[in-house]
Amino acid sequence: MADVHLRINGVDRRLEVEPRVSLLDALRERLGLTGTKKGCDQGACGACTVLADGERVLSCLALAVQYEGREITTIEGVADPIQRAFVRHDGFQCGYCTSGQICSALGMLAEHAAGAPSAVTEGLAAAEIELTEAEIRERMSGNLCRCGAYNGIVAAIQETQETRVAERDVPTLVEGRR
Amino acid sequence: MTTYVGEAVDRVDGTAKTTGGARFSAEYPYPDLAHAALVHATVARGRITRLDTTAAEAVPGVIAVLTHRNAPPLKPAPRVTPLNLATLASGTSVNYLNTDEVHWNGQPVAVVVAESPEAAQEAAHLVEVAYAHLPATVDFAAAEPDAKPQKSNLIMSGGAVKGDPEAALAAAPVALDLRYTTPPHHHNAIEPHATTAHWADGRLTLHDGAQNIYWTRDHLAMRFGIPKDDIRVLSPFVGGAFGGKTMVWPGTILAAMAAKATGRPVRLMLTREGVYRTVGGRTPSTQRVAVGADESGRMTALIHTSVTLTGRVGGGPEQVTSQTRHLYDAAAIRVQQNLVELDVLSNTVMRAPGESIGTFALEATVDELAYRLGVDPIELRARNEPARNPMDGKAFAHRKLRECFEQGAKEFGWAGRNPEPRSTRDGRWLVGTGVAAAYHPSWQFPANVTVRLSADGTALVRCGFHEMGMGGATAQAQIAADALGLPVEAVTVEYGDTRLPTGPGAGGSAQTASVAAALVAACEKLTRLARALARRTPGAAGASYPEILRLAGRDSIEARVGSDTRLGTAVGQLRFAGKLMSDRRRWVKAACGAQFCEVRVDADTGEVRVTRWLGVFDVGRVINAKTAASQLRGGIVMGIGMALAEETLVDPRTGRIMNASLSEYHVPVHADVPAIEIRYLDDPDPTMPLGLIGVGEVSITGVAGAIANAVFHATGRRIRDLPITLDKLL
Ligand code: FES
Ligand code: FES
């Protein structure tokens, strides 16, 4: 048994787990945070995506003990306009991939904001990479949705990005943000 | 007065699903919960000769290892009888852990129960089993020539003939006789099948992702020999299903068995591999489509035959030739479905079983005929559009297929198309466009509903239906809100619990229509009650329904439709079956549509990308513009997977699925899916409740056909074997 300390959704949590316990199972089975989903347990579907210090990770491929002292954000700790955007654009049907899509999208937007290119980025030297539909699709391709809500997910992410850009450019709007 | 029906109302469970609040069946906490894992047989057919569980039992935290030697008895799977539809629900006929025989490669032969999921998994790997092999037939391609004609039953006919199609084909000035193959497919709902089972005082509570909670309940009652009222199945959220959660598969039964044997609440969440090993998928098929036409393009002969498989332990025919009875007005028609029985896991229903793959072969053939004749494929379809059902002259309840093609052609810009194959190139991409018809029969099942209206202006709708993503609760809330004159937020819909009035299963694209019919009737009863109350209540004339209650001093009034008593159910089922049969005698009922797409094929690598999609559908009245469009899109996405990537690979020697994972079975990802434009005619079908025809399945039909046709237009190559992978285009 290992003693692990994680900061999850802003709360310090200690848990005793075997070293083989995945971060995903630690969240779901030990901490009751079942918002993070298990779709394959093999790193192939993205349903288990969470944010570790703001970066997206597949929690089924991560061991809880590896994340000692790290800041983990799960869907239960997300409070972002992107969630409303998913509802508005119907970016899900059954909802099982949704937690992963949302966490992944937030991590992806941060990667993009930090200037990370993707496999479809054309001008790598450009100061700012435009987050086109093709860019979003490429960057989100690790998150499967068998219900096929991809169009709605892309629209929700685009809207979120547009709002963020607008708010960045017009500082007064920031106060109105929910 | 309609306010909500037809509108793009946000899903009522949208917040739950975007905040992690929606609980799926593996997510119910129980103190003392134990975890189970399955051990799968590794031979196609055989007998267990040696079983060593010592190492598994020695793993710390293991509570029990159940095998056929020590598992509690289970009653055999019931014989199918039309008097009890739940007898149809057996995933297989095998009596799990009550036999030393193995009937398919992957059958569960042991269940480990442990204090943690990790210990259960570890111990499952340590169970040693040896087998005596028995001869097994597992290779579909090898067995396919020996297929036998499918016998007709009440709901599906195996074959039919009009005129002398073979003679007409031989005499036709233009004729094609083509062979197609499609591989097995798996649903791959992102939520793996999961069950949490809890026994208390001989009663079972089961959280189980299911498409028919009543079938699950009744089936378990038969297997465990207890009254069905002693079982409660809860399934408020299902993480995708697509047919794969209709039958009762081994995991559900074994979770309940493990909980019974250990006296602990038990959770069994299948691994992704476990889903492939223990839940059936779509049959592979071989198909022959032959068509003869005169020079004007009028079809004189149309023949469609198929071979599909069933497992020796279960499964059934899939209606691969169904659409061919209805789509084209050929003078002579023959359809015939044939079956082979193999020593593999049962096939099962998967989104548009039959039509999804049948429309591929038929619509690709029609396109090929159009090219042979030098006629535009849409024009060819128009020339063969029947006024009445081609097979028997029955009337169509609703048929707006031509309108779908016309509207689609206009919006897609079909008119400007250069029909010449390989005529459009954009850099390294060969560009092509294709069309195909979509077709899926519509159904309606009985449903019991109660509606309660309260003086505080809220309403409660209760019906044990299912939510796997279709947005059923939202649609029913809209219907009730309109009927009762309430804001949609004031309506609560309860579903997914066998304690509720018996709802329909989620299948055949029928659930929304089935519940809607009962809900509309219940709301009418309720408003009649309210109006009667108003007449007796001073000052209530012209008041809203909740105001009437307030003025009359009533807290609430309730109406119910259907009867859940034993007699009531029997009478209700008979009356329903009677109406269904008379409906079927009078009309052919279906949803249909026109699929338009553009593909780009890499001239060097043969890689196919879908770059544009437009689907125009005739699905009657649409209740929710947002969720219906999403569901239609979802079917197209799955169809894109079927056309270009999806294939379950089965080892022809051992019957073992070789790509039992999401990394080797390729479902479409974000990058594979373009913007999909959806249109629907929104023209109510007068023979359906509220005029609505189901939207769940029609949109997967025709997709693979449209893509294959577009690939031909782009490359000049006809690929008749799915999936259209790049190796086939080189
Ligand atoms: S559950 Fe982690 S990627 Fe599928
Ligand atoms: S919403 Fe069902 S898998 Fe994405």
Distance of CA A78 to the CA centre of its chain: 9
B21, with CB counted inside 10 A (0-12, 13-18, 19+), is middle
Length of chain B equals 730
Say what the pLDDT of residue B82 is: 77
* pTM above threshold 0.95: yes
Question: Does B332 share its domain with B430?
Answer: yes
Residue that the structure tokens 């390729």 belong to: B666
Q: Residue B201 belongs to a domain with what CATH number?
A: 3.30.365.10
Q: How far is the CA of B443 from the centre of ligand 2 (A)?
A: 25
Q: Taking Cα atoms as reference points, which of A152, A33, A58 lies closest to residue B663?
A: A58
Phi, psi dihedral angles at B599 (to 5 degrees): -125, 160
Under DSSP, the state recorded for B657 is: B
Catalytic-role residue among B122, B363, B467, B697: B697
Say what the pLDDT of residue B645 is: 98
Residue A152 has pLDDT above 70, yes or no: yes
> Is B9 inside any structural domain?
no
Q: What percent of chain B has pLDDT over 70?
A: 98
Q: What percent of chain B has pLDDT over 90?
A: 89
Residue A176 has pLDDT above 50, yes or no: no
Query: B2 or B659, which is more confident?
Result: B659
Q: Which of residues B585, B616, B651 is at a domain's end?
A: B585
- Residue span of the structural domain in which B554 resides: 444-585
User: Average pLDDT of B454-466?
Assistant: 97
* H and E: helices and strands count for chain B: 18, 27
Residues whose CB is less than 8 angstroms from the CB of residue A128 and which lie 6 or more positions away in sequence, other chains included: A115
Work out the pLDDT band at B244, boundaries 50, 70, 90: very high
Pairs from A47-50 (Cβ < 8 Å, separation ≥ 24): A47/A96, A47/A97, A47/A99, A47/A100, A47/A143, A47/A144, A47/B190, A48/A24, A48/A100, A49/A99, A49/A100, A49/A101, A49/A103, A49/A104, A49/A107, A49/A142, A49/A143, A50/A23, A50/A74, A50/A75, A50/A103
* H/E segment holding residue B636: helix B625-644
Q: What's the one-letter identity of residue B173?
A: P
Q: What's the one-letter identity of residue B335?
A: V
Length of chain A equals 178
Digit-coded pLDDT (tens) for B276-299: 999 999 999 999 999 999 999 999
Residues whose CB is less than 8 angstroms from the CB of residue B125 and which lie 6 or more positions away in sequence, other chains included: none
Question: Does B66 share its domain with B51?
Answer: yes
From chain B, the residues in CB contact with A8 under 8 A are none
Say what the pLDDT of residue B338 is: 98
Question: Does B343 share its domain with B402?
Answer: yes
From chain B, the residues in CB contact with A88 under 8 A are 10
Task: Kindly list the distances between the CA atom of residue B136 and the CA atoms of A147, A171, B45, B184, B651, in Å, as whole numbers in the listed order.
Answer: 36, 71, 6, 19, 13
| Cα distance between residue B451 and residue B177, in whole Å | 56
User: Average pLDDT of B359-378?
Assistant: 98
Question: Does B52 share its domain with B102?
Answer: yes
From chain B, the residues in CB contact with A47 under 8 A are 190
Structure tokens at B617: 């559908």
Buried b (16+ CB within 10 A) or exposed e, B546-567: bbbbbbbebeebebbbbeeeee
Residue B142 has pLDDT above 70, yes or no: yes
Q: Return the number of CB contacts < 8 Å for A and B.
A: 174
Would an 8 Å CB–CB cutoff place B560 in contact with chain A? no
Work out the pLDDT band at A162, boundaries 50, 70, 90: very high
Say what the pLDDT of residue A178 is: 36
Question: Does B555 share its domain with B433?
Answer: no
> Is B28 inside any structural domain?
no
Phi, psi dihedral angles at B81 (to 5 degrees): -135, 140
Residue B334, strand partner residues: B161, B303
Work out the pLDDT band at A177, boundaries 50, 70, 90: very low
Say what the pLDDT of residue B83 is: 78
Minimum CA distance residue for ligand 1 atom 3:
A43
Say what the pLDDT of residue B586 is: 87
Q: Which of residues B261, B278, B295 is at a domain's end?
A: B278
Whether residue B127 contacts residue B283, with contact meaning beta carbons closer than 8 Å, is answered with: no
Work out the pLDDT band at B472, boundaries 50, 70, 90: very high
Say what the pLDDT of residue B565 is: 58
Say what the pLDDT of residue A174 is: 39
Question: Does B564 share its domain with B648?
Answer: no
Under DSSP, the state recorded for A65 is: G
> Is B13 inside any structural domain?
no
Digit-coded pLDDT (tens) for B520-561: 999 999 999 999 999 999 999 889 999 999 999 999 999 999
User: Average pLDDT of B305-322?
Assistant: 97
Digit-coded pLDDT (tens) for B675-719: 999 999 989 999 888 898 889 899 999 999 999 999 999 999 999
B419: left (phi over 0), alpha (psi -120 to 50) or beta: alpha
Residue A127 has pLDDT above 90, yes or no: no
B489 is catalytic: no
Of the ranges A70-74, B243-247, B305-309, B513-517, which one carries the lowest mean pLDDT score? B513-517
Residue that the structure tokens 């435009």 belong to: A130
Test mutation, A75, A131, A150, A154, chain B, max B CBs within 10 A: A150
Test mutation, B12, B125, B190, chain A, max A CBs within 10 A: B190
Residue that the structure tokens 């935290």 belong to: B61
Residue B650, strand partner residues: B657
Question: Does B454 share its domain with B559?
Answer: yes
Residue A171 has pLDDT above 70, yes or no: no
From chain A, the residues in CB contact with B193 under 8 A are none
Work out the pLDDT band at A143, boundaries 50, 70, 90: very high
Whether residue B39 contacts residue B110, with contact meaning beta carbons closer than 8 Å, is answered with: yes
> Is B22 inside any structural domain?
no
Q: Which of residues B263, B278, B293 is at a domain's end?
A: B278
> Is B208 inside any structural domain?
yes
Question: Does B230 share its domain with B86?
Answer: yes
A167, with CB counted inside 10 A (0-12, 13-18, 19+), is middle
CB contact (8 A) between residue B22 and residue A154: no
Question: Does B476 share its domain with B559?
Answer: yes
Question: Does B232 share its domain with B293?
Answer: no
Q: Taking Cα atoms as reference points, which of B395, B309, B394 lies closest to residue B353?
A: B309
Work out the pLDDT band at B2, boundaries 50, 70, 90: confident
The strand pair at B395-396 and B128-133 is best described as unpaired
Query: B120 or A172, which is more confident?
Result: B120
Ligand 1 close to Cβ of residue A23 (< 6 A): no
CB contact (8 A) between residue B470 and residue A93: yes
User: Average pLDDT of B410-427?
Assistant: 96
Work out the pLDDT band at B577, boundaries 50, 70, 90: confident
Say what the pLDDT of residue A175 is: 41
Question: Does B225 share its domain with B96?
Answer: yes
Q: Is the ipTM of this complex over 0.90?
A: yes
> Is B117 inside any structural domain?
yes
Minimum CA distance residue for ligand 2 atom 4:
A145
> Is B539 inside any structural domain?
yes
Test mutation, A16, A17, A33, A90, chain B, max B CBs within 10 A: A90
Whether residue B350 contacts residue B187, with contact meaning beta carbons closer than 8 Å, is answered with: yes
The domain tally of chain B equals 3
User: Average pLDDT of B8-25?
Assistant: 97
| Cα distance between residue A20 and residue A63, in whole Å | 7
Task: Kindly list the distances between the CA atom of residue B472 and the CA atoms of A68, B74, B694, in Å, as whole numbers in the listed order.
Answer: 43, 35, 11
Question: Does B356 share its domain with B476?
Answer: no
User: Average pLDDT of B232-253?
Assistant: 97
Q: Taking Cα atoms as reference points, which of A174, A86, A65 lies closest to residue B626?
A: A86
CB contact (8 A) between residue A147 and residue B669: no
Residue B445 has pLDDT above 90, yes or no: no
Whether residue B110 contacts residue B122, with contact meaning beta carbons closer than 8 Å, is answered with: no
Q: Supply the mean pLDDT for chain A.
A: 94
Highest mean pLDDT among B73-87, B622-636, B680-694: B622-636
> Is B17 inside any structural domain?
no
Q: How far is the CA of A143 from the centre of ligand 1 (A)?
A: 9
Q: How far is the CA of B240 from the centre of ligand 2 (A)?
A: 7
End-to-end CA distance of chain A: 42
Q: Supply the mean pLDDT for chain B.
A: 95
Say what the pLDDT of residue B564 is: 61
Say what the pLDDT of residue B585 is: 81
Question: Which of residues 379 through 438 in chain B touch A, CB cutoff 8 A?
Answer: none
Under DSSP, the state recorded for B80 is: P
Say what the pLDDT of residue A148 is: 98
Q: What percent of chain A has pLDDT over 70?
A: 95
CB contact (8 A) between residue B240 and residue A147: yes
- Closest-CA distance of chain B to residue A173, Å: 25
The domains located in chain A, with CATH, are 2-74 (3.10.20.30), 82-169 (1.10.150.120)
Residues flanking ligand 2, CB < 6 Å: A 92-98, 145-147, 149; B 190, 240, 469
Nearest ligand, CA A44: 1
Taking every pair of Cα atoms in chain A, the longest distance, rounded to a whole number of angstroms, is 51
* Minimum-distance CB partner of A42 among B631, B661, B671: B661
Q: For B388-416, what is the HEC assignment?
A: CCCCCCCEECCCCHHHHHHHHHHHHCHHH
| Cα distance between residue A8 and residue A51, in whole Å | 10
User: Average pLDDT of B151-173?
Assistant: 91
